[in-house]
Structure 1
């Protein structure tokens, strides 16, 4: 099992939910926008929890460093969490302009973040973690809940 395949697939699933929420908000379908946004937020936050509680510590233990890529990713996770809160507020207020503006910022942040993880961090994880450890790690991440 490759960490990069598993985690990249999760990125794509979250991207799809994000796009559905944005489309609904743009159309003024606030019930659907809220539903899809909550799915996006929950799946994204669950993905972050998998990384922060399982993947990053395993990588840091193997490399002996908590500085560098995992530190940057944690910082960016906090930025995303802040935008999630602002976007939820915009949905609650049914403020289309605010939501779409925040969605644009979120999309840019997530694209850059995901690219760094997919092209650098996940590839590094696949290189430094032995196959049996990667399999066990994926099993642990599958069980992570919010």
Structure 2
């Protein structure tokens, strides 16, 4: 049986790969490929957030009655990361590698802390709450 923790952690790694590739390309001055890889990172990250905010978090909140707990904190962090993504996109548009790489460092720290909280606390909680329904929830998230 596939767990929410395994699936969503794998999705984190997928986003991390795009992020690292974009940073490497931009640091080398390859704006064309760096821009394309950044766009892949941005889109994968937004898709991940959408699965959580559109399906996983509301279902978790409905089942647990917790609306001001960990899911609220994760949403706040998503907002912070979305702002960083917008700032990074502006840096890419202006081909400002110094700004991009500085924002990239901040994004890396925020993502690492955020992903650790999800993978070590929230996702295991969702696996417990959903138990036998985890696969159906994951399928619903993939359809989003």
The one-character-per-residue Cα deviations of 1:62-104 (angstroms, maximum 9, x if unpaired) are 1111111000000000000000000000001100100000000
The equivalent of 1:88 in structure 2 is 89
The one-character-per-residue Cα deviations of 1:26-71 (angstroms, maximum 9, x if unpaired) are 0000001100000000000000000001000111111111111000
The equivalent of 2:32 in structure 1 is 31
CA distance in 1, matches of 2:74, 2:10: 18
SS of equivalent residue, structure 2 residue 92 = helix
The equivalent of 2:125 in structure 1 is 124
CA distance in 2, matches of 1:130, 1:11: 22
SS of equivalent residue, structure 1 residue 129 = helix
The equivalent of 2:139 in structure 1 is 139
TM-score, scaled to structure 2: 0.98
Structure 2: 5+ residue runs without aligned partners?
Answer: none
CA distance in 2, matches of 1:28, 1:46: 27
Q: Number of aligned pairs?
A: 143
RMSD over aligned Cα, in angstroms?
Answer: 0.6
Report the Cα offset of residue 130 of structure 1. 2.5
Structure 1: 5+ residue runs without aligned partners?
Answer: none
TM-score, scaled to structure 1: 0.96
SS of equivalent residue, structure 1 residue 130 = helix
SS of equivalent residue, structure 2 residue 29 = coil
Runs of 4+ with >4 A deviation: none
